Amino acid sequence: MENVLHDLYEDKVRPYLDFIDSLRALGVDQDLPLPTIVVIGDQSSGKSSVLEALSGVSLPRGGGLMTRCPLELILKNIKTDEWKGMIAYKDYKKKLRDPSEVEREIKTAQDTVASKNNEISTERITLQIESRTAPDLTLIDLPGIARNPVGNQPQDIEKTIKKLINSYIKRAETINLVVIPCNADIATAEALKMAKEVDPSGERTLAVLTKPDLIDKGAEEQVNKLLRNELVFLQKGYLIVRCRGQQDIDDKMSLSEALKQEKEFFKSNKHFRRPLAEKQASVPCLADRLTSELVHKIKKSLSSIEYQLQSKVEETNQELASMGEAPSDDSEKKSFLSNKIREFCNDIIALASGDLSQDFVSNLKLFPVSRECFEKWHCYLEQQESDLESKY
């Protein structure tokens, strides 16, 4: 029965995710926005821990800025115990055979894309993971908001990161997943502030609260008010998770063990039993919610995507038609290329000589403008010379 339910679920979910992933792989999102979940948070908000718990692999973490360029994380649930991974960036692509390779490969990718000086890049790294424990989900992780430069980073690092984040979260097709630690003042959470600026009603924003084990005693009710959406209202609301802390990592706690301890933490904590029962707590609940939100967003956007793709195809076809019919024979291709090079050279010569009979030059109107500028300059010089003569 469990396998039947899984097959039905997979038939309804996976095709939508694969469709959008394939469009993004083709670079379609450079011309039109696609439904996406973007993960943002202040530095040290617990963002990496959340992504680790969702993906089942260790990601770069520690002090300073760990995410330095967009990381597209494509997660696929498979029935076998085999683990598959692949990382791709620029013209490089590599298959990964073990989860332990991921952290090292991402560090190498970031050093290649964004240099070794902790700089920020807009170029995306794609990491695909297939495993029995992974959810069916695709999301994009963005650099945490850092206020102070590290090492050789430019002084305007915060501005650079915010510009990158804003380029993603402002799109109407984007679901913003904001990561906020429970032990921080939500009023000072810069990531939530940015999300609210582009999404005032909160209809595209979902917040996940982290580090519930670090809440000061007596502050639990404040967190529950957030979960009940009573403080900073978001239409999609809030969830809460407990991921591995630094001590857990130092003790080499596995991600599967961390999930067990997370469930036990919420079950045994009188303040958070209710959110767990209402599916507002734990990483598995977050994964299910994110998958549901993304698929819903894709379904709503399909007709718009189809229309925009058709419009783009027509526009491209018109542009190709204006260039003339391409030759099919190899010998004709050489002649075609030679003619195009000759035409280009003639245009350059006409532009340099100011030959107004050529449409290319006439449309630019560069020669008349240049002639007018030189005439004014000539008059100015003559006037200056005349003034000097009269003075002496």
Average pLDDT over residues 231-240: 94
Same structural domain, 307 and 337: no
Report which of 82, 54, 79, 74 is spatially closest to residue 128, judged by C-alpha positions: 74
pLDDT digit string (tens) for 279-303? 999 999 999 999 999 999 999 998 8
Of 312, 347, 366, the residue that ends a domain is 312
Alpha carbons 262 and 54: distance in angstroms, whole number: 13
Residue 5: pLDDT band (50, 70, 90) is very low
State pLDDT tens for residues 130-180.
998 899 999 999 999 987 776 676 778 889 999 999 999 999 999 999 999
Provide, rounded to the nearest whole percent, the portion of the chain with pLDDT above 90: 48
Question: Is the pLDDT reported for residue 38 higher than 70?
Answer: yes
What distances in angstroms separate CA 283 from CA 70, 147, 249, 314, 351, one per listed residue? 22, 28, 17, 44, 64
Where do we find the tokens 């943002």?
A: 40
Least confident of 30-34, 100-104, 106-110, 321-325: 321-325
Residue 370 predicted with pLDDT over 80: no
How do residues 263-283 score in pLDDT, each as one tens digit? Answer: 999 999 999 999 999 999 999
Do 35 and 318 form a contact (C-beta atoms < 8 A)?
Answer: no
341 is a domain residue: yes
User: Given 278, 312, 346, which residue is the final one in a domain?
Assistant: 312
Report whether pLDDT(210) > 90: yes
Whole-prediction pTM: 0.79
Span 308-314, average pLDDT: 90
- pLDDT bucket at 2, cuts 50 / 70 / 90: very low
Assign 361 a pLDDT band (cuts: 50, 70, 90). Answer: low
The pLDDT value recorded for residue 103 is 92
326 in a domain, yes or no?
A: no
| 323 within some domain | no
Range of the domain at 337: 332-390
Residue 321 lies in a domain: no
- Mean pLDDT along residues 210-238: 92
CA 56 – CA 255 distance, rounded (Å): 6
Q: Which residues pair with 238 in a beta bridge?
A: 207
| pLDDT score at 59 | 87
Segment 166-182, tens digit of pLDDT: 999 999 999 999 999 99
pLDDT confidence of 358, banded at 50, 70, 90? low
Burial class (CB in 10 A: 0-12, 13-18, 19+), 112: middle
- CA dist 244 and 230 (Å) reads 28
What is the number of domains present in the chain?
2
What is the average pLDDT score of the chain?
86
Residues 298 and 343 in one domain: no
CATH value at residue 284? 3.40.50.300
Question: What does the pLDDT average to over 210-229?
Answer: 91
Same domain, 276 and 347: no
pLDDT at position 268: 93
User: Is 322 part of a structural domain of the chain?
Assistant: no
Strand order in the sheet with 92-96: 92-96, 84-89, 125-131, 71-77, 137-141, 36-41, 174-181, 205-210, 238-240
For residue 70, which of 108, 30, 104, 113 has the smallest C-alpha distance?
Answer: 113
Last residue of a domain, one of 282, 312, 342: 312
